Amino acid sequence: MSICGMVKKTSGAPRREESLSRERIIDAAIALLDDAGESGLTFRALALKLVTGPGAIYWHVANKSELLTAACDAIVARAMNAPLADATPEATLRAIALGMFDAIDAHPWVGSALAHAPGQLPAVRILERIGQQLRLLGVPREREWTTVSALLSYILGVGGQNAANAQFAQAEGLNRADFLESLANTWSELDPAEYPFASSIARQLPDHDDRADFLTGIDLILKGMRSLRRG
Amino acid sequence: MSICGMVKKTSGAPRREESLSRERIIDAAIALLDDAGESGLTFRALALKLVTGPGAIYWHVANKSELLTAACDAIVARAMNAPLADATPEATLRAIALGMFDAIDAHPWVGSALAHAPGQLPAVRILERIGQQLRLLGVPREREWTTVSALLSYILGVGGQNAANAQFAQAEGLNRADFLESLANTWSELDPAEYPFASSIARQLPDHDDRADFLTGIDLILKGMRSLRRG
DNA sequence: GACATAAATGGAACGTCGTTCCAAGATATT
DNA sequence: AATATCTTGGAACGACGTTCCATTTATGTC
């Protein structure tokens, strides 16, 4: 490839500066995923970006699924380790949930990766953070599991839909607004006799605020927990 | 978008008995997905089952994604058109949610397909059914959207996790119980200083009842809606 | 410094996938 | 019977995840 093949490494550095490492691979994977979406992560593209061959990557990473989960975990860890202002457990729960929403909004592929790695480290990080607040809130032991898994399921559900929306829009070359607009048109054209609700609510689709709706859902669950604690 | 304009077909002789059709293809796809999971659906396997070539299938179906969504829609339509006993709107909402849970439990790939087809027909069917009950319940117009999307997100979230669990377990050749057991072991071995909640709750993992937990989450949201209506 | 051992690399190759292409067969129309 | 259209199915393309292995680079030993 290069004409002047013999580039004398002057220094006696411990390792090649540009040597591979799990960390460098994961960083490159994140960059690829952010730039080109879920389908942008390939061992070939990764090798190209890291100036090596596909085979070399397998020395540091078992397979693609592990790599994707590791990339996902890096983002989730960053979001879940962010310091939070001291506040009531409920306010903290809202902040945790919003942190995940924003992380998935910035990296839609994380929503999809999270959905495909149930019970793995990334999900456990979220579970842990939520669970600690539930204990501060005084949720009785026998209701801990159902409560934490309800919150987690909701967060993963919204995240997964956001990821799918982003991927769908990208596949059709649309931005979010145009994608929602075309969806609203499709819904509007549904038979009002068969789909009275969907066709009547279609026009609200393009103008709604995902983030606000997400938070409203969290508040709905928190309100339900509160009324359970009192009743 | 139009179905199929040519309605000549006065004669009785339909076509070859074993000729291809969209319906026959979708049925075969469902059988393949049920038997071998998400990765079992291949145009080659489908062609083999239908005794034809891969190219012929493309005359009736645009691509794999459309086929998967159509197969998903067939299952969802079956679940959402099931007759429900007349009951309070809240009881009907619970029945609708449970119907989706059971459908995904019987066909885990539906959970994953639903998550990848946001705003498409299968999801709209669920949205519609839920929305109609919300109107009977008297939810004010300005809260319709956030309420229905909270319920839908939760249902899709649980469904997606169930699908992922099933796929993960199948990939490792385990049944559900063994998979949860191995997950519980992993969680138990987490550092209790860093993961006090996850490690302490790990032992509840193998024995919990997915269906009951799902319903508890639905009730949590319904309770939140009720307290909102009163407050 | 020379040698042996192990770690790490990268390019070629395998098998599978979704999809496209097209020559041939089947059916409908004149 | 001839023509036009719908439908089929097998071959082929390009891209993917992954494996294999000859080669290079670093480390430890005398």
Chain A positions in Cβ-Cβ contact with residue B187 (cut-off 8 Å): 119, 124
* Burial of A154 per CB tally in 10 Å (0-12, 13-18, 19+): buried
Residue B222 CA and nucleotide D16 C1' are separated, in Å, by: 45
Å from B163 to nearest chain A CA?
Answer: 9
Considering all nucleic acid strands, name the nucleotide whose C1' atom is nearest to the C-alpha of residue B40: C17
Q: Does B164 touch chain A (CB under 8 A)?
A: yes
pLDDT of residue A15: 46
Given a cut of 90, whether residue B87 has pLDDT beyond it is yes
Instruction: State pLDDT tens for residues B59-74.
Output: 999 999 999 999 999 9
Q: Does B186 touch chain A (CB under 8 A)?
A: yes
CA-based nearest residue to A115, from A72, A147, A144: A72
Given a cut of 80, whether residue B6 has pLDDT beyond it is no
Q: How far apart are CA A213 and CA B145, in angstroms?
A: 8
What are the two backbone dihedrals, phi and then psi, of residue A26, each rounded to the nearest 5 degrees?
-65, -40
Neighbours of A70 (CB within 10 A): 22
Å from B55 to nearest chain A CA?
Answer: 23
Q: Does A115 touch chain B (CB under 8 A)?
A: yes
Are the C-beta atoms of residues B25 and B43 closer than 8 Å to each other?
no
Q: Does A224 touch chain B (CB under 8 A)?
A: yes
Angle between helix B121-136 and helix B89-106 axes, rounded to 10 deg = 160
Question: A167 in helix, strand or coil?
Answer: helix
Percentage of chain B with pLDDT > 90? 89
Q: How far apart are CA B137 and CA B147, in angstroms?
A: 12
The DSSP output letter for A206 is: T
CA-based nearest residue to B147, from B130, B169, B165, B166: B130
Q: Does A217 touch chain B (CB under 8 A)?
A: yes
B146 and A201 in contact by Cβ < 8 A?
A: no
User: Can you give chain B as a three-state secondary structure string?
Assistant: CCCCCCCCCCCCCCCCCCCCCHHHHHHHHHHHHHHHCHHHCCHHHHHHHCCCCHHHHCCCCCCHHHHHHHHHHHHHHHHHCCCCCCCCHHHHHHHHHHHHHHHHHHCHHHHHHHHCCCCCHHHHHHHHHHHHHHHHCCCCHHHHHHHHHHHHHHHHHHHHHHHHHHHHHHHCCCCHHHHHHHHHHHHHCCCCCCCHHHHHHHHHCCCCCHHHHHHHHHHHHHHHHHHHHHC
Which CATH fold would you assign to the domain A83-230? Tetracycline Repressor; domain 2 (1.10.357)
Going by pLDDT thresholds of 50, 70 and 90, the confidence category of residue B53 is: very high
Q: How far apart are CA B70 and CA A106, in angstroms?
A: 30
For residue A111, give every residue at least 6 positions away whose Cβ sits within 8 Å of its Cβ, in sequence order, or none.
A104, A156, A159, A160, A161, A162, A163, A164
Given a cut of 80, whether residue B77 has pLDDT beyond it is yes
Per-domain residue ranges for chain A?
Answer: 83-230
Is the Cβ atom of A175 within 7 Å of strand C at any atom? Answer: no
Helix and strand numbers (H, E) in chain A are 11, 0
Given a cut of 90, whether residue B229 has pLDDT beyond it is no
Percentage of chain B with pLDDT > 70? 92
Mean pLDDT, rounded, for B206-222: 98
pLDDT of residue B14: 43
Is the Cβ atom of B58 within 7 Å of strand C at any atom? Answer: yes
| Of A157, A204, A227, Cβ closest to residue B145 | A204
Tokens matching residue A4: 């002047």
Which CATH fold would you assign to the domain B73-230? Tetracycline Repressor; domain 2 (1.10.357)
Lowest mean pLDDT among A4-8, A174-178, B12-16, B93-97: A4-8
pLDDT of residue B230: 82
pLDDT of residue A220: 98
Chain A positions in Cβ-Cβ contact with residue B216 (cut-off 8 Å): 146, 150
Q: Does A186 touch chain B (CB under 8 A)?
A: yes
| Of B156, B223, B225, Cβ closest to residue A228 | B223
Residue A55 CA and nucleotide D10 C1' are separated, in Å, by: 34
Angle CA B196–B197–B199, to nearest 5: 70
Which CATH fold would you assign to the domain B15-61? Arc Repressor Mutant, subunit A (1.10.10)
In a 13 Å sphere around the CA of B16, the CA atoms on its Cβ side amount to 4
Instruction: State pLDDT tens for residues A12-64.
Output: 334 446 789 999 999 999 999 999 999 999 999 999 999 999 999 999 999 99
Residue A172 CA and nucleotide D5 C1' are separated, in Å, by: 32
Q: Which bases of chain C are contacted by protein, using any atom under 7 A from a CB? A: 8-13, 16-22, 26-29
Going by pLDDT thresholds of 50, 70 and 90, the confidence category of residue B157 is: very high
What Å distances lie between residue B135 and A120, B81, B131, B155, CA to CA? 39, 19, 6, 19
Chain A positions in Cβ-Cβ contact with residue B118 (cut-off 8 Å): 161, 164-165, 168
Residues of chain A with pLDDT under 50: 1-16
pLDDT of residue B82: 95
Q: How far apart are CA A66 and CA B230, in angstroms?
A: 48
pLDDT of residue B17: 60
pLDDT of residue A14: 40
Given a cut of 50, whether residue B1 has pLDDT beyond it is no
| Of B124, B186, B196, Cβ closest to residue A187 | B124
Q: Which residue is nearest to nucleotide C11 (CA to C1')?
A: A53
